[in-house]
Structure 1
Amino acid sequence: MSVVFDRPSLWRRLRPLLSGFDGLLLVAILWLVGLGLMTMYSAGFDHGTRFVDHGRNMLLAAGILFLVAQVPPQRLMALAVPLYVVGVALLIATALFGISKKGATRWLNVGIVIQPSEILKIAMPLMLAWWFQKREGQLRLLDFGVAFVLLAIPVGLVAKQPDLGTSILILSAGLYVIFFAGLPWKLIVPAVLAAGIGITALVLSEDTICQPGVQWHVLKDYQKNRVCTLLDPTKDPLGKGFHIIQGEIAIGSGGIGGKGFMKGTQTHLEFIPERTTDFIFAAYGEEFGLVGVAGLMLGFLFLILRGLIIAGDAPSQFSRLLAGAITLSFFTYAFVNMGMVSGILPVVGVPLPFISYGGTAMVTLGLGLGILMSIAKSRRLIQS
């Protein structure tokens, strides 16, 4: 007598891999992906293959998201220290042997040309979440000091390249972990007050400190110029202030309802610099107006709120800290990009998630979202 076994269907074999994905997070992602593709089609219409490449980068990010979502948080935790050490080692190698372009040494040839600082956008919150997980229940002030040292090493190396935008993103991701771990308010409040006083003093003394020949020992000359241009872009409207002024004109000309899809004059007459990368928000605001900007911001808000809910429901301190930091990193990306295009923050070269063109940034985005999905899946498996 022979026994016949039914071969499981493709759906039955794929179902365990697809089960547990957070549906609401997927809705937010798909909404932003749709807006990103639509915006890139218009902004990159006469810009070679930008739209096709953007779609390909999104598919690559989706594949990475799917694969990383299959990795349990416990295994992600095991990768924290090796990934951090490799990332810092590559940053040191970049400082010694890196490739220089336009006065910056940010790239390293390891058979292929890579930008090691991108690794730290994920490795930094992983490392600090691992550290605080190990110190759970016995946290002392010294442990926060060690965390700040772990954070300062890569941030300093990236800022030295120089790459202010990426160093800000790495710094913010690390600070989010430290904050969620329970950093005492007696340390937070003085730092916030000092920052507020410093910014106020900078604005009040703008006429003096922004004079030619005045050196800022903390920042390089081009970084000083970005801050001074933010304070008054009209001093050099055809030079350093051109980006900010054109971005403000494009967003303002969009009005309430926008000029319409593919009808942005500032965009298609090429007045907006970097209209498919750092300044794509200006192109979006011109064509879709205040209503479209509100829809974009609501998409990011929903993504961030859902990520924070996933962090709050996470089964371990490591997962909570990691999910919270990654979620607020998306907020940092969006806030800094929109702020610099709107003229309320200096231009630092931070992409707008899902919207800006860029393969490396899209891969990092896929990694972060994959980790969020992994944490959401682990919670669902524990509940079931």
Structure 2
Amino acid sequence: MNMTGNFDRTISQEDVLKRRASLLQRLHIDGILLLLLVTLACAGLFILYSASGKNWELLYKQASSFAIGLAAMLVIAQIEPRFMARWVPLAYLGGLLLLVWVELFGYTAMGATRWIHIPGVMRFQPSELMKIIMPMTIAWYLARHNLPPRLKHIAISLVLIGMPVVLIAKQPDLGTSLLILAAGVFVLFVGGLRWRWMLGALAAAVPLAVALWTFYMHDYQKRRVLTFLDPENDPLGAGWNIIQSKAAIGSGGVWGKGWLQGTQSHLDFLPESHTDFIIAVLGEEFGMVGIAILLLLYLLLIARGLMITAQAQTLFGKLLAGSLTLTFFVYVFVNIGMVSGLLPVVGVPLPFISLGGTSLVTLLSSFGILMAIHTHRKWIAQV
């Protein structure tokens, strides 16, 4: 009698789990991704409150951007990847036209022309849209051919990548252009790019870097590279940010000074403390433990993205999911690397933590695509 009751109870629990899984599946929501994203966003608001000097206006702005991004993510998750693929060429052409519009009629701020300004409505960066459109375009193109890609297909892919990259670099926005370049190249990598071609590309990068330095890079970009090599050479000028950032992280120790107790940011020693250098605030106030917890959340998010990539049932979905996940990894790696002095400063925000509405909406939209790839596939089992 007891054995039968236990068996019935077990079956009942399994039925409940299946119903829950089926509900998430019907809503096209990946519960693990959603939980990690909300946790990161809440942590970001918590840190931003301190980094911004208790500025409720910035906090409200960031929370509003997250709400908009979350809504966009849930809407995008309802779209079948096959339907997305049909509109990729049109989206790519539209993105290029917007970048050309920025080049001709764009809004200029702080010496850069990166925005389209619609009076009384909004101001936005078309380059942020290309962070999603670029990997979708290359995934759409490669999915129509046999893999690994042949030299002809690689060349065409590089042309498709190069046009928006050049337009964005001219704004100038070197950090975003490099991220978009990486997003496109990652699709080639996931598609099985041969190692000899990757090694050849690395060899070609040396003369290309020399040419960029000599003929293309602006003076402030050159100063960033020189500061990366020797920040103490100009401690009160170009090297100030890196020196203060490392001082803030080091002063936090293992456990940190406590929330709202940081000195480098609250006494205005650390510039851009609520944007590019916000992890220095985290390190100072919560120490090595706080940074380790944040990195664990990022690691779990990346691992989930790679699992979705492995389970994708279409070539387009696999290429796109892999590229979006690896690009997110680059976001995290570049920001932490530049703040700690391991990479040059290129103006890449820390995902979900740094202040930035357009960037936040773009990131959440990319995770909406991951959810669509994962939840629109044919399930063999519901748990």
- Per the shorter chain, which TM-score range? 0.7 to 0.9
Residues in 1 aligned to 2:370 and 2:27: alpha-carbon distance in whole angstroms: 15
Q: CA offsets per residue over residues 206-236 of structure 1, 9 Å max, x none?
A: xxxxxxxxx7323111110100011111111
**Separation in structure 2 between the aligned mates of residue 373 and residue 350 of structure 1, nearest angstrom:** 25
| Counterpart position of 1:155 | 165
- Cα deviation for residue 20 of structure 1 reads 4.3
1:142 match: secondary structure: helix
**Equivalent in 22, 34, 49 of residue 30 of structure 2:** 22
Partners of 2:338 and 2:346 within 8 A in 1: yes
User: Would you say 1:166 and 2:176 are equivalent positions?
Assistant: yes
**Structure 2 counterparts to residues 29-178 of structure 1, below 5 A:** 29-110=37-118, 112-136=122-146, 139-178=149-188
What secondary structure is seen at the aligned counterpart in 1 of 2:157?
helix
Residue of structure 1 equivalent to 2:346: 348
TM-score, normalised to structure 2, is 0.88
Is 1:239 paired with 2:237? yes
Alpha-carbon offset, residue 140 of structure 1: 2.2
Structure 1 residues 341, 139: CA separation in 2 closer, same or farther (over 3 Å shift)?
Answer: closer
Change (3 A) 1:198 1:167: closer
The answer to whether 1:180 aligns with 2:178 is no
Q: Give the 3-state SS of the residue equivalent to 1:265 in structure 2.
A: coil
State the TM-score, normalizing by the size of structure 1: 0.88
Structure 1 position 18, deviation (Å): 5.4
Give the CA deviation at 1:15: 4.5
1:292 shift after superposition: 0.8
Give the direction of change, closer, same or farther, for the CA distance of 1:380–1:247 in structure 2 (3 Å limit): farther
In the TM superposition, what whole-angstrom CA distance separates every residue of 1:343-374 from its partner, at most 9, and x where no partner exists? 11111111111100111001101110100111
| Counterpart in the other structure of 2:277 | 279
Q: Hey, what's the Cα distance between the residues in 2 that align with 1:184 and 1:95?
A: 36
Residues 95 and 105 in structure 1, CA contact (< 8 A), matched pair in contact too: yes
Distance in 2, Cα, partners of 1:270 & 1:339:
22
Q: Deviation per CA, 1:94-116: give whole Å up to 9, x if none.
A: 11222222322212235543311
| 2-structure distance, mates of 1:196, 1:251 | 33
Secondary structure at 2:214 match in 1: coil
Structure 2 unaligned blocks of 5 or more: 1-18
* Alignment partner of 2:296 out of 273, 277, 298: 298
Residues 164-211 of structure 1, C-alpha deviation per residue, up to 9 Å, x if partnerless? Answer: 111011111101001111211111123335558999xx9xxxxxxxxx
SS at match of 2:235: coil
Task: Give the secondary-structure state (helix, strand or coil) at the position aligned to 1:217.
Answer: helix
What is the deviation of 1:19? 3.9
* 1:222-270 Cα distance to aligned partner (Å, 9 max, x none): 1101000111111111111111111111011111111111111112112
CA distance in structure 1 between the aligned counterparts of 2:354 and 2:316, rounded to whole angstroms: 30
Alignment of 1:231-380 (within 5 A): 231-379=229-377
How far off its partner does 1:383 sit?
Answer: 5.5
Q: Which amino acid aligns with 1:114?
A: F
Which AA in structure 2 matches 1:96? Answer: L
For the residue of structure 1 that corresponds to 2:116, the secondary structure is strand
Structure 1 unmatched runs, 5+: 1-10, 203-214
Alignment partner of 1:266: what SS?
A: coil
Higher mean C-alpha deviation, range 217-226 or range 149-158: 217-226
Contact 2:174 2:346 in 1 (8 A): yes
